[in-house]
Structure 1
Amino acid sequence: MSESLKAHPFLRQWLGLDVAGQVQAFSGKVDLGQGISHALRLIVAQELRLSPASIAMVPANTHTSPDEAVTSGSLSVQHSGAALRCAAAHWREMCRLVMAQRCGVDVATVRCANGEFSLQTHVENKTRHASYAELTSAEMWQSAIDTMHVQSIHASQDMGASPTKPSALRPDVASKVFGEFEYIHDRVLPGMCHGMVFRPGTLTAEVIAHEMQALVHHVQAQSGVLCVHQNGVLLGVLTQTEYALSKIVRHIEDGVAQGKFWRCHSEVPDAQDLPNWLKAQTLDTTVVADTTDNAPTDELQHIRAEFHRPYLQHASIGLCCALAQWTDDAQQLEVWNHSQGIYNLRRDIALAFDMPPAQVQVSHVEGAGCYGHNGADDVAFDAAWLAQLVPGRPVRVQWTRQAELAHAPLAPAMAVEIHAGVNAEGHIAEWTQTVWSQGHGTRPGRGKTPALLGTWQTAQPHPVTMAVNAAMAVGGGSERNAQPPYDVASVKVINHRVLNMPFRVSAMRSLGAPTNVFAAESVMDELALRCAQDPLAFRLAHLRSTGQARAVAVLQKVADMAGWTTPRPDNKPEGWGRGLAYARYKNTGAYCAVVVELVVEEKVKLHKLWTAVDLGHVVDADGAANQIEGGALQAASWVLCEAAQLSSQGIASNNWDNYPILKFSDMPAVEVALMSQPHEPSLGAGECSSGPTCAAIANAIFDAIGVRMHAMPFTPENLLKTIEAETPSVHS
């Protein structure tokens, strides 16, 4: 039974019928554009033997949806999907039983097809029919879900059931393509006004009093201004129209760029020496894995290598946005937002305003897609904070590009050191992986005080939330994928969590996995080179233990797709190379192998990515492939382009000029193969391709020019520095 179903065991918590008789499905997992609502719709449709168009997925909200915490970790199909599958199967079988009892027949004679129950009566010699609405009672909605009904799904189509073939078409895509879809940015409520909260670029700062006073007077004199409110280091502005606000925003942001209004205080890590800065901080050290009791006694050839990545930014093209409205008596608050954790946000907003959570309603509305903790929760607080100034009126707050890049949490910088030993037979005998990184989580809803940026900056601030890592039971944070997936007898994994956070850091897609996989798979290629083995053959030789068949299968599949074992083309251009990498996400999730083909010229140009993935039972093949492709391309952008620039005034990379991302013209062809395992549980697709893609690009660069990249991003400048340094890729 999934954790979601344990917490919400009743049928009414997952399914319902509206007044028109259409099936409603409830989930606490939100759609960020990744199409999870469609995948969940397909699951419910399959179990109820209905067409997907007959299922209405109710947008997540804190009044009607089950509390499933945060939409993260590639767990939506595993958790919410499993719960909805059980709920739908339970409802179907309860209705089948009611039909049988009413007709006085054995339940096995009742068929379910196209959302209708039927049976052939021998006495009357006719077929009787009934719908879900006709067979469902009030008592049935209150029943606890019996998970036994779901066990026969893949074994047979039980009791004569014939599921409909689900449509592969997502119902939201056409409206998004044609600009008809209503995002949170498009929502207009009666009497709505517009607001913005201005703040310093660092977590600690002080107001420059005379400049702030002059600014307040200037803003109050502008037309269309409703309210100007200063509290602590925050300055809030409310206007009647979005146009009036836009003029004020430009004026204030120009002043901020000149260092006005706030005196910022922040330690700035040296971008050129991040590994040593991380190691010099106070550390919380844990041993994640230790099987060194199995240490070999024979002589080994050792290699040691260190890898690192800079701070990264979410850099969503869409901006964070929220709407909020207090009742006239300020006793109830409603928030519309694209948060990934509506219940967590509700909890922290209630803490921030010292009110019971039951008096806060949060409704999810699709907005800027983001894998990780961006500014969505912070902008929700901004809207609620400003809405107090105009009780009864809805307030809309949309961050600017400068605010989006300057105030959202960063992904932590990381350093990873690997020390490995290989024996005379070419087998890895020992492996030690050591990680230095800040924690990868400051999301709301998990501490005693609110983890919302604005609550740390008022006149009576709450304490800044220190970044922590998720428990290893759910994949960890900075230590995610730090344990090698290969057969190695002696393994030690050490994680050093950095206890200093001059800039706010939190979760980004895959957390620590991309850096750990980049490091580990780079070392795997180095070891293969030392042992004079092909990188594919070397990996397969270390996947021979029980339970590794699925890992072997994805590696062999991607090798076949890319023609890995065929002779290299004679006419390949100078700087041509290809690289291979593999990982199982979190060591418990999806299996993914990637091959990259590229050319290194004045910069790295990707030609093609091949990806083979085992997701267990695939619910929506098109959606899964989209997720894998998107994860690979975002990882390619990280590894080739992205690095946050920090200054004493805050995050300096606050526009597209100084925070470039991969352009459409840089995009390679991507081929995805899904190796469906219909009898296995579903595994998440959203994050599994990130790590192998980073590593495969690094390995392809080495194959192309013989230079081992140890530090992201692989920009032309960093490539040139590495080549000129002529540093050995690893040190014996």
Structure 2
Amino acid sequence: MSALDETAAARLGSLADHPDLDRWVQFLPPDRVRVRTGKVELGQGLRTTLTVLAAEELGLAPEQVEVAPAVTDQAPDEGFTAGSRSTMTSGAGVRQACAQVRGVLARRAAARLGVDAAQLQVDGGWVSAPDGRRVDYWSLAAEGPLGPASLEPSPLRPAEARRLVGRPARRVDLPAKLTGQVGAFLADLRLPGLRYARVLRGPRPGSRPVGPMPERIGEAQVIRCGNLLALVAEREGDAQLALETLASQVHFEGGLPWPGTDPADPATMAANEAARYRVEDGVAAPDPPPPLKHQVAERVLRTRYRRGFLLHGSIGPSAACARFDGQHLEVWTHSQGIGPLRQSLADALGLPPDALTVRHHDGPGCYGHNGADDVALDAALVARALPGRPVLVRWTRAQEHRQEPLGPAMAVEISAGLGTDGRIRSWQEDVWTYPHNARPVPAPGASRLLGALDLDPPLPPAGPVPMLHHEAGGHRNATPAYRLGRLQVVEHLVASTPALRTSALRSLGAHLNVVAIEGAMDELAALAGADPLAFRLDHLPDPRARAVLEAAVALAGGLDAPGGLDAPGRGIGFARYENTMAYVACVAEVTVDPRDGRVRAQRLWLAADAGESIDPDGLVNQLEGGAIQATSWTLKEEAHIGPEGPLATDWAGYPILRFSEVPEVQTVLLGQPDQPPLGAGEAACGPVAAALVNATAQATGARFRDLPLQPERVLGGLDALLRGED
């Protein structure tokens, strides 16, 4: 594809792959427009962004535009809503589809009014001629299908004529959620004849219940679907009570074993290396070269950073609803990919894909592959066993904690050589990681859905496919943005037992990779006797990257803070997400209590360049939400794995950041209205985590490299500092 073709494809977004305009835009008399998209609302405000883009290009008020929830066979199949790409792909597709629809309406009006289309004004629901005659959108749309899109992008409304893009927008999804409207969330969905179900499976995936099973417990019917037990009742409370009773009585045998040693331990990870790849220009390929020797370096830094497994930590447990009429299955889900899920459900159930309709419905936000897809199969199995009425299945908190795929444990080792001039001359980076991709995609003869192991006969688990493409999986943001002389990055893919499912969590490998890179940059600056900001700028050629670093430091009023155990420390972190998307820099201020080892994030200052901002308020919300989530990961979160799987079953066992612990966050956007929008939903995670780690080092004089920075680790590090150890 030529450079011009690449530019055109970026401007068209998903419309290039789905060029049927009628699939994207429908005119609903008397004065509304429905826009369909294959991307879904996960709490990130996407529906609002798409509303703004459509309304702008059609010249309508946002209240006249309805962005419909994604439904298979109705919306364009845009795969997964992931990777911070929704505005870049679906947003571009909606924008361009509406711009092209404007052209269709103008041509139809020109024929009707006998005027050259170039003389017509298309705005406010009307196509108007210079002489004052006009015709409304809806009568023009009624003339017939809108037809296929042109693969030559249409001009968008000029910047000076825009009334909505670039201005804060009211979230279209929040009123129903904030007022407790019934059905706003999937778990509160109410359908005629709805029944409620809880499910029970053993501690090991695929384990079998043994012994006789009662037909009823209280008001709940007991249904066995292979190895899966379901408690179905007219009232949700009755299903929950029956679950608690049955769980205390039933015994399970067999199933997939969990790892025998701590899978998050770096030594265990190194011992279980399954493949090794060199990473060049962000792409992983086999046969990495031997490690660099740092022959031209005067001094060499060697450092290692690590994180444990993470949960997605959705406040609401996963849920799904299903209805089977004997031939057709309908599923309501908060999955991030309704198209791939439909195919995976069809494969597991032995149904043709056209016998399934999958509908997205807002549910708990996840920012990654949590239990939404798995509970959809649970609901489908129960509905198939009891056809005729819809069944709503909701996991319990303990099930969500124990059964969802985990964010992978990782370890990053960096060795870097400094020249006599204090500049970095060589950089070797090794990333150990479990797979970041176990999303449900077609896998002949196997499945990535948890419930597939409960089928009779079971479908074996499909192993994760290595993510080798550009900035994917464990090597996302493993390549530093800095000019480093000789550079070598190696990704080590770690294998485990099939029971240990690891998959996508917000920012994937970028979280720890940025922590390690930015931590090493601070360590190298100290080794060179240089200021951390000046040291970074001296190695950073990209002017937009330099600008966000300088803006974050200016917003914070500088990096200087009084150190010592009782005083705050400040640190900085920077990355361009995937080295192609939004630029984010963060300055963090923390305090460390030397008595109990508690690290408290006090303030975060963010600077971001995400290109053109469609909804500045929504962009700030995404950046600050990612910052707070990264703070929680960095200071508190770790999922421990025992002989029977994840140990935590509640928030006491897996603590997350509390409202009282949320730092004050201040954000500045470096507006670039003449540049394309850049994905920003995951862009803050790495820089914020890195800034917190570096701030903790500045506050204490001790360098903490194992995440999270929980009190016992901090106390151990302070003790080592007093003993003269690093």
* TM-score (normalised: structure 1): 0.91
Q: Which residue of 2 aligns with 1:284?
A: 275
2: CA distance between counterparts of 1:276 and 1:297?
28
Q: Which residue of 2 aligns with 1:196?
A: 198
2: CA distance between counterparts of 1:4 and 1:424?
50
> Which residue identity lines up with residue 699 of structure 1 in the other structure?
N
The 10-residue stretch of structure 1 (482-491 or 572-581) with the greater mean CA deviation from structure 2? 572-581
2: CA distance between counterparts of 1:169 and 1:313?
31
Secondary structure, in 3 states, of the residue corresponding to 1:171? coil
2: CA distance between counterparts of 1:28 and 1:94?
23
Matched, 1:659 2:654: yes
Q: Which residue of 2 aligns with 1:141?
A: 146
Q: Which residue of 1 aligns with 2:234?
A: 240
Deviation at 1:730, TM superposition (A): 10
1:523 corresponds, among 520, 524, 527, to: 520
1: CA distance between counterparts of 2:306 and 2:166?
47
Matched, 1:593 2:589: no
Change (3 A) 1:676 1:147: farther
2:639 corresponds, among 636, 640, 644, to: 644
1:251 corresponds, among 239, 245, 251, to: 245
Secondary structure, in 3 states, of the residue corresponding to 1:388? helix
Secondary structure, in 3 states, of the residue corresponding to 2:483? coil
- Please tell me whether the aligned partners of residues 439 and 505 of structure 1 are also in contact (alpha carbons under 8 angstroms): yes
Q: Which residue of 2 aligns with 1:261?
A: 252
The 10-residue stretch of structure 1 (278-287 or 221-230) with the greater mean CA deviation from structure 2? 221-230
1: CA distance between counterparts of 2:171 and 2:583?
25
Deviation at 1:149, TM superposition (A): 1.3
2: CA distance between counterparts of 1:297 and 1:102?
77
Change (3 A) 1:133 1:585: same
Deviation at 1:693, TM superposition (A): 0.8
Q: Which residue of 2 aligns with 1:668?
A: 663
The 10-residue stretch of structure 1 (137-146 or 177-186) with the greater mean CA deviation from structure 2? 137-146
Deviation at 1:429, TM superposition (A): 1.3
Identity of aligned residues (%): 37
> Which residue identity lines up with residue 130 of structure 1 in the other structure?
V
Q: Which residue of 2 aligns with 1:24?
A: 34
After TM superposition, list the pairs within 5 Å mapping 1:108-507 onto structure 2: 108-121=118-131, 127-136=132-141, 138-150=143-155, 153-154=157-158, 157=161, 168-180=169-181, 182-203=184-205, 205-207=207-209, 209-210=210-211, 213=212, 216-217=213-214, 220-231=215-226, 233-254=227-248, 260-262=251-253, 266-268=257-259, 270-271=261-262, 274-289=265-280, 298-327=296-325, 330-448=326-444, 449-473=446-470, 475-501=471-497, 502-507=499-504
Secondary structure, in 3 states, of the residue corresponding to 2:707? coil
The 10-residue stretch of structure 1 (501-510 or 13-22) with the greater mean CA deviation from structure 2? 13-22
Deviation at 1:271, TM superposition (A): 4.3
Deviation at 1:363, TM superposition (A): 0.4
- Please tell me whether the aligned partners of residues 38 and 76 of structure 2 are also in contact (alpha carbons under 8 angstroms): yes
> Which residue identity lines up with residue 119 of structure 1 in the other structure?
A
Deviation at 1:63, TM superposition (A): 2.6
Q: Which residue of 1 aligns with 2:4?
A: none
Secondary structure, in 3 states, of the residue corresponding to 2:130? strand
> Which residue identity lines up with residue 578 of structure 1 in the other structure?
R
Change (3 A) 1:509 1:15: same
Give the RMSD, CA atoms, in angstroms: 2.5
Change (3 A) 1:138 1:117: closer
> Which residue identity lines up with residue 380 of structure 2 in the other structure?
A
> Which residue identity lines up with residue 141 of structure 1 in the other structure?
L
> Which residue identity lines up with residue 110 of structure 2 in the other structure?
A
- Please tell me whether the aligned partners of residues 227 and 237 of structure 1 are also in contact (alpha carbons under 8 angstroms): yes
2:555 corresponds, among 554, 561, 565, to: 561
* Residues matched between the structures, number: 703
> Which residue identity lines up with residue 590 of structure 1 in the other structure?
A
* TM-score (normalised: structure 2): 0.92
Change (3 A) 1:412 1:268: same
Matched, 1:38 2:30: no
Secondary structure, in 3 states, of the residue corresponding to 1:642? coil
Secondary structure, in 3 states, of the residue corresponding to 1:120? coil
> Which residue identity lines up with residue 305 of structure 1 in the other structure?
T
Q: Which residue of 2 aligns with 1:684?
A: 679
2: CA distance between counterparts of 1:592 and 1:172?
27
Q: Which residue of 2 aligns with 1:51?
A: 61
1: CA distance between counterparts of 2:47 and 2:114?
39
Change (3 A) 1:94 1:134: same
Deviation at 1:642, TM superposition (A): 0.8
Change (3 A) 1:384 1:488: same
1: CA distance between counterparts of 2:487 and 2:249?
54
1: CA distance between counterparts of 2:72 and 2:302?
50
Matched, 1:74 2:84: yes
Secondary structure, in 3 states, of the residue corresponding to 1:335? strand
Deviation at 1:490, TM superposition (A): 1.2
1: CA distance between counterparts of 2:403 and 2:117?
60
Deviation at 1:296, TM superposition (A): 7.9
User: 1:608-667, CA deviations, whole angstroms, 9 ceiling, x for partnerless residues?
Assistant: 101111111111111111111110111110111111121112211111111100100101
1: CA distance between counterparts of 2:173 and 2:378?
29
Secondary structure, in 3 states, of the residue corresponding to 2:265? helix
Q: Which residue of 2 aligns with 1:124?
A: none
2: CA distance between counterparts of 1:413 and 1:433?
17
> Which residue identity lines up with residue 85 of structure 1 in the other structure?
R
Change (3 A) 1:444 1:272: closer
- Please tell me whether the aligned partners of residues 42 and 166 of structure 1 are also in contact (alpha carbons under 8 angstroms): no
- Please tell me whether the aligned partners of residues 333 and 360 of structure 2 are also in contact (alpha carbons under 8 angstroms): yes
The 10-residue stretch of structure 1 (425-434 or 296-305) with the greater mean CA deviation from structure 2? 296-305
Deviation at 1:98, TM superposition (A): 2.9
User: 1:249-306, CA deviations, whole angstroms, 9 ceiling, x for partnerless residues?
Assistant: 22244568xxx43456534364496111111014111111289999986343211111
> Which residue identity lines up with residue 185 of structure 1 in the other structure?
A
- Please tell me whether the aligned partners of residues 168 and 617 of structure 2 are also in contact (alpha carbons under 8 angstroms): no
User: 1:425-481, CA deviations, whole angstroms, 9 ceiling, x for partnerless residues?
Assistant: 1211111111111110110124333311000232311111223343423x2101111
> Which residue identity lines up with residue 425 of structure 1 in the other structure?
D
